[in-house]
Amino acid sequence: MGCSVHTILDKTLAGEFLSAEDAYRLIDCQEYELDFLFEAAGALRDRLKGRIVTYSRKIFLPITNLCRDRCAYCTFRKDPSDPGAWTMSPDEVAHALGLAKERGCKEALMCLGDRPELAFPQYREMLAGFGHRTTAEYLSRACEMAIARGLLPHTNAGVLSYNEMTLLKPVNGSLGLMLENVSPRLSLKGMPHFSAPDKNPALRLRMLREAGELSIAFTTGILVGIGETRKERVDSLVAIRELHERYGHIQEVIIQNLRAKSGTPMAAFPEPDALEIARSVAAARLLLGAINVQAPPNLSPNDHKLLLRAGINDWGGISPVSRDYINPEAAWPHIGALAKTCRDEGFTLCQRLAIYDEYIERPGFLAAGLRPVVSKLREAIAENPEEPYDARDHSFTA
């Protein structure tokens, strides 16, 4: 039968290690027990992180949407011949970074499809025209352009090798890769990752491990609602926790919910409801302790109070100049409105950088060449951590 939810929560709040078996019981608790689950997760968050909730003011730079993977829920990826396929030129990157600087952005998020150079000769030719052999080389150049304009890069380029991360570390505050889920079942025929070789959990776990070996502040997370079980969510969070216990490098874990999109094989797939997302957030907080836990606010626009209650302490990146290209139907919230929601719930919304404060002074994590830009950005935040909310900071949908 095992321990009751109350017993497990009491032990966890008393500082005892939360086992996977106990986490299975928590995430699968009855609906009448959810109040206790959320209360415990919120209490642990308050103890470890306080009542400050953060966000990163960013620009989203979709360097290329060419991708060799075909996930069953994705509308971002394209083949070169598809309508809407693009690769940003250096001039386009420079223009976007200029807009970001004007609007007070501090993070330059470099996001793109997985391994396009392995799949598309046209893309390799385009890279050569830019003066580069590999995507990693081009990303390094784009990151240098961002740094020159006073922005701190964060790169999410899919699965990267050890050598590619070594190349990118000196020009990135942090790197990211969504683990999504550790279950190989999701790569079987008929499942969402069947045609996505880079969603192999072993490959993604290897990248997370190698990022730890390189002392890279790392963002990862799980994707909720793609056909996984609650147990598989817990297994994924436990895998992340184990890597963090070994290397101490997981700065943030995102609990991201599926948004079903028309034109995809999963267009009619039922999206997880608010309580399903919240129970996953609470389980993540109780399993991960002091690791920062994020839920994207644009993917659950009506549930911000619930997500705060369930234990998050970060909203992720929000942009005043670019849409969410992965979920283009989901507008960013107005920062001022989000700040008010936080105040109403007893929290303060503050800016952060692409590398969390706790990693800036940790030996080996922040490259020496990034310290000048990080210092300037920290000074700007310290002078006004909540920052006046420009009337132009509306929900960007175009």
Any idea what the CATH number is for the domain that residue 125 is in?
A: 3.20.20.70
In this prediction, residue 386 carries a pLDDT of 64
Q: How many domains does the chain have?
A: 1
Nearest to 315 by CA among 292, 336, 346, 331: 292
For CA atoms 157, 162, 167, 168, the dihedral sign is positive
- Assess if residue 259 is contained within a domain: yes
Yes or no: say if 177 and 250 are a contact pair by the CB < 8 Å rule.
no
Give me 245's structure tokens: 């216990």
In this prediction, residue 398 carries a pLDDT of 32
CA 101/CA 149 separation, integer angstroms: 7
Instruction: Please report how many Cα atoms fall inside a 13 Å half-sphere around the Cα of residue 398, on the Cβ side.
Output: 3
- Assess if residue 388 is contained within a domain: no
**Phi and psi at residue 164, in whole multiples of 5°?**
-65, -40
Yes or no: say if 361 and 288 are a contact pair by the CB < 8 Å rule.
no
- Assess if residue 133 is contained within a domain: yes
Has this prediction a pTM greater than 0.85?
yes
- Assess if residue 107 is contained within a domain: yes
**Phi and psi at residue 53, in whole multiples of 5°?**
-115, 135
Instruction: Give the DSSP letter string of 77-128.
Output: -B-TTSTT--B--HHHHHHHHHHHHHTT--EEEEEE-S-HHHH-HHHHHHHH
- pLDDT per position in the chain (398 positions), as tens? 578 999 999 999 999 999 999 999 999 999 999 999 999 999 999 999 999 999 999 999 999 999 999 999 999 999 999 999 999 999 999 999 999 999 999 999 999 999 999 999 999 999 999 999 999 999 999 999 999 999 999 999 999 999 999 999 999 999 999 999 999 999 999 999 999 999 999 999 999 999 999 999 999 999 999 999 999 999 999 999 999 999 999 999 999 999 999 999 999 999 999 999 999 999 999 999 999 999 999 999 999 999 999 999 999 999 999 999 999 999 999 999 999 999 999 999 999 999 999 999 999 999 999 999 999 999 999 987 665 455 454 444 33
- Assess if residue 35 is contained within a domain: no
| 138: enclosing H helix or E strand | helix 135-148
- Assess if residue 307 is contained within a domain: yes
Q: In which domain, by residue range, is 194 found?
A: 45-383
Burial class (CB in 10 A: 0-12, 13-18, 19+), 388: exposed
Task: Give me the amino acid identity at 241.
Answer: R
189 torsion bin: left (phi>0), alpha (psi -120 to 50), beta (else): beta
- Assess if residue 390 is contained within a domain: no
CA 236/CA 280 separation, integer angstroms: 11
Yes or no: say if 283 and 315 are a contact pair by the CB < 8 Å rule.
no
- Assess if residue 291 is contained within a domain: yes
